[in-house]
Amino acid sequence: MQQRAQAEDWEKRAVLAVGEGKDELAKRALVRKQELGEYVASYQDQWQAQRDSVEQLKGSLRDLTQKIEEAQRKKNILIARAKRAEAQQRIQSTLSTSRDTSAFEAFDRMAKKVDQIEAQADAEREINQIDTGDKALESEFKQLERGDTSADQLLEDLKKKMGQIEDKSSESASQGTSGG
* Rg for the chain, CA atoms, rounded: 36
Give whichever of 83-87, 127-131, 154-158 has the largest mean pLDDT.
83-87
Euclidean distance between CA atoms 157 and 161, whole angstroms: 6
What's the rounded mean pLDDT across residues 2-9?
Answer: 82
Euclidean distance between CA atoms 154 and 159, whole angstroms: 9
Give the per-residue pLDDT at 101. Answer: 57
What's the rounded mean pLDDT across residues 41-59?
Answer: 91
What's the rounded mean pLDDT across residues 34-48?
Answer: 87
List C-alpha distances in Å: 52 to 40, 59, 90, 158. Answer: 18, 11, 57, 24
pTM: 0.33
Q: What are residue 20's phi and psi, to 5 degrees? A: -90, 0
What's the rounded mean pLDDT across residues 88-109?
Answer: 76
Give the per-residue pLDDT at 169. Answer: 45
Place 168 in a pLDDT band, splitting at 50, 70 and 90.
very low
What's the rounded mean pLDDT across residues 118-131?
Answer: 84
Return the domain boundaries, the chain.
2-148
Of the CA atoms within 13 Å of residue 72, those in its CB half-sphere come to 9
Give the per-residue pLDDT at 68. Answer: 94
Place 55 in a pLDDT band, splitting at 50, 70 and 90.
very high
Mean pLDDT of the chain: 81
